[in-house]
Amino acid sequence: MIVIGARGRLDIERALQEIKKRGLKGQILDASVVCGKEHLEVAYEHAKRAFEEGRNKSKSIEMEFLLYASTKRQIKEAIEFIGAKNEGDYAFVFFEGEEGEAKEFVRELGLEIDESVIEPNIEKLKKFVDERELETVDKTFYFDLIFEKVAMVELMK
């Protein structure tokens, strides 16, 4: 799995069509709600396992991944929460391929690669958990809460 952070302005529909046209499997997310590469790697592993075990709710791995990454049960809610907007910071996730080619693709879209946009921070985490949940764990484990939220999607489906 390849994760690339980027910023700029983008026609999301055109970019998603271009991903499909090139035969790639991937997704473009709003990086302001991405809590690091591990967040997305864990979400992808859960989505992949759901397909392997026949527990998938979606017809495509891309949409199943979106559910897990967003920690939402409904596709519409997932898209609204973590789906990329036309301007801002992006997390490009490719489920296969070469990193160099993926970065070149992102540059061809006119975006600036900036890995810092996908780094976790407390503001992003608070979009997934509330203060009460944060109070239950030591600060060194704060970002483990996102993995718990991703795993909970299986129980909510």
Angle at Cα 121 formed by Cα 79 and Cα 19, nearest 5°? 35
pTM for the full predicted model: 0.92
Q: pLDDT tens-digit profile of 42-60?
A: 999 999 999 999 999 999 9
Q: What is the pLDDT of residues 66-75, one digit of tens each?
A: 999 999 999 9
**For residue 150, what are the CA distances in angstroms to 71, 129, 153, 157?**
5, 12, 6, 12
Structure tokens at 8: 């700029």
Q: List the domains of the chain with CATH numbers.
A: 2-156 (3.30.2380.10)
